[in-house]
């Protein structure tokens, strides 16, 4: 089974899926009626160089930036509500810096790189590890996916993942103990959401 066919089989409500970046990303949401701040185009271009980030801009006739966004996040971000996706009318360097250091931006960089690899038909390390699996391991992995999905869709904490695996083990379905720690579960669910987003973008 390929990961593509796995995802195509999913009929669950995709839009409600949120990775571990979900909560943090929400904190970046637009503040209530922010006071617009502008900066000259030159200044914004200088920030881009200094902070190594590509910004989209609305520039008025006087070469003043009235709105900026992160080009990478506008294209690839899972969370579509961040003001660096929708457009930020507070054109401030500290805002750009805060965004650049945010978890949601860092996650999006990973999605971007996964998407580019996909476009070049390269597999990500996670996909490579899936390719090496035999049928028995793959069947287990499919059940792990389903379990991870249940958590993501219901916005349950990742700490529930090991508990769900334990429950399934008690019911006679051992899925191995690899994902019995919060950290492993967090990484696993995160990887699935990243793959999922890359899949959506490549359609």
Binding-site ranges for Zn ion (CB under 5 A): 70, 72-73, 105
Q: How far is the CB of 73 from Zn ion (least distance, A)?
A: 3
Q: How far is the CB of 51 from Zn ion (least distance, A)?
A: 11
Query: Which one, 73 or 193, has the nearer CB to Zn ion?
Result: 73
Contact, 194 vs 107, CB < 8 A?
yes
17 vs 152: CA distance, rounded Å: 5
Q: How far is the CB of 100 from Zn ion (least distance, A)?
A: 7
Cα 192 to Cα 63, 115, 179, 189: the distances in Å are 43, 14, 14, 5
Query: Which one, 97 or 156, has the nearer CB to Zn ion?
Result: 97
148 vs 164: CA distance, rounded Å: 9
List strand residue ranges (DSSP E) for the chain, in order.
Answer: 39-40, 55-59, 64-70
Q: How far is the CB of 71 from Zn ion (least distance, A)?
A: 8
Query: Which one, 25 or 151, has the nearer CB to Zn ion?
Result: 25
72 vs 85: CA distance, rounded Å: 9
Query: Which one, 72 or 195, has the nearer CB to Zn ion?
Result: 72
């Amino acid at each position: 089974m390929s990961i593509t066919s796995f995802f195509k089989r999913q009929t669950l409500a995709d839009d409600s899926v949120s990775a571990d970046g979900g909560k943090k990303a929400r904190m970046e949401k637009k503040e209530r009626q922010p006071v617009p701040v502008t900066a000259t185009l030159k200044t914004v271009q200088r920030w881009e160089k200094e902070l190594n980030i590509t910004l989209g801009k609305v520039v008025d006739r006087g070469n003043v930036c009235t709105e900026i966004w992160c080009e990478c996040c506008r294209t690839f971000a899972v969370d579509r509500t961040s003001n660096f996706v929708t457009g930020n009318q507070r054109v401030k360097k500290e805002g750009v810096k805060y965004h650049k250091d945010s978890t949601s931006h860092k996650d999006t960089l990973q999605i971007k790189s996964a998407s580019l690899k996909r476009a070049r038909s390269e597999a990500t390390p996670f996909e490579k590890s899936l390719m090496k699996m035999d049928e028995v391991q793959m069947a287990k992995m499919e059940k792990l996916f389903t379990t991870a999905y249940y958590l993501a869709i219901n916005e349950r904490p990742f700490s529930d993942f090991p508990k769900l695996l334990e429950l399934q083990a008690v019911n006679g379905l051992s899925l191995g103990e690899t994902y019995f720690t919060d950290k492993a579960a967090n990484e696993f669910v995160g990887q699935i959401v990243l793959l999922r987003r890359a899949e959506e973008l490549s359609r």
